[in-house]
Amino acid sequence: MSEDKGTVITLSRPKLQEVHFGIVGLTNLICCALPRKIKDEEAVVVRRRKPLKGNLPEKSDDAEPTGTPEQQFRKSLYPMCGTLPPGAIIAMPNGGGLWGFPSSAIQASCATFLQRFNPINPKYAKDTPPVFYGATFMVDEMIPIVGDGPHMRHDIVRNSRGKRLDTYRGEFKKGWTMLVKMEFDANIITLERLTNALDGAGRKVGIGAWRPECRGRFGRFEVDQESITLVKIGEKEQAA
């Protein structure tokens, strides 16, 4: 088979840019690094099923919070440096740089906002999350939380079977801040649209436990417009 050496292939590269957003908490942030099956009673609709005959064993995935209040409190937090030793100090001024939040949760919040309120293509709203995930990339896996906390919070929650449980979790007071670093493909989503997606996600979807998405009021935030910094990938590589 002969080859045509005169053929020129042009690669269509994504127009990647990096942007840094400062976000500020409008309400308290409740950390929830707990088993997924534990649901807040305000966030879950318990679906009643017909009882089955015989004695049923407990489901392994129907987890309950275990340990003392202090142990539950520690387990609910996201350490920036892996697992902290048992004697480590929890509360430090402005978080002490010890605690963070998964960047994937913020990205998911943006995707949910776009799908529900401002889809990239209104005719194919359900396809918005895959498109958004393909056009945006989180620079940091874990984002440090700066703010008043964490403080131990006690709530009555309920699991998937409707059982009420005492749960102790970490909470950061209103005014907490994070620096969110994202790369995005400017050929697919503009900086303006990305900024509005993040701001809208903070106001209407939220992050953490009892967020607006789950019929709660916690975990809301807004974008600090003065903190927005655009970094071109090419310039970043040259500087390095």
- Higher pLDDT residue, 174 or 84? 174
pLDDT for the residue 43: 40
State yes or no: pLDDT of 57 exceeds 50. no
Pseudo-torsion of CA 123, 45, 208, 202, nearest 10°? 40
Q: In this structure, is residue 233 part of a structural domain? A: yes
State yes or no: pLDDT of 41 exceeds 50. no
Across the strands, what pairs with 23?
178, 223
Q: In this structure, is residue 193 part of a structural domain? A: yes
| Residue 215 Ramachandran class (φ > 0 left, ψ -120 to 50 alpha, else beta) | left
Helix (H) or strand (E) holding 103: helix 103-117
Domain that holds residue 137: 16-42+65-81+91-239
Global pTM reads 0.76
Percent of the chain with pLDDT over 90: 47
Q: In this structure, is residue 218 part of a structural domain? A: yes
Burial-class residue 60 by CB neighbours within 10 Å (0-12, 13-18, 19+): exposed
pLDDT band at 149 (very low <50, low <70, confident <90, very high): confident
- Structurally, the chain folds into a number of domains equal to 1
Instruction: Summarize pLDDT for 71-98 with one digit per residue, the tens.
Output: 888 888 998 875 554 544 555 544 455 8
Burial-class residue 6 by CB neighbours within 10 Å (0-12, 13-18, 19+): exposed
State yes or no: pLDDT of 239 exceeds 50. no
Q: In this structure, is residue 47 part of a structural domain? A: no
State yes or no: pLDDT of 6 exceeds 80. no
Q: In this structure, is residue 56 part of a structural domain? A: no
Q: In this structure, is residue 5 part of a structural domain? A: no
Q: In this structure, is residue 2 part of a structural domain? A: no
Q: Looking at 24-38, 47-61, 88-102, 220-234, which range is the least confident one?
A: 47-61
CA 78, CA 31: separation in Å to the nearest integer? 8
Q: In this structure, is residue 3 part of a structural domain? A: no
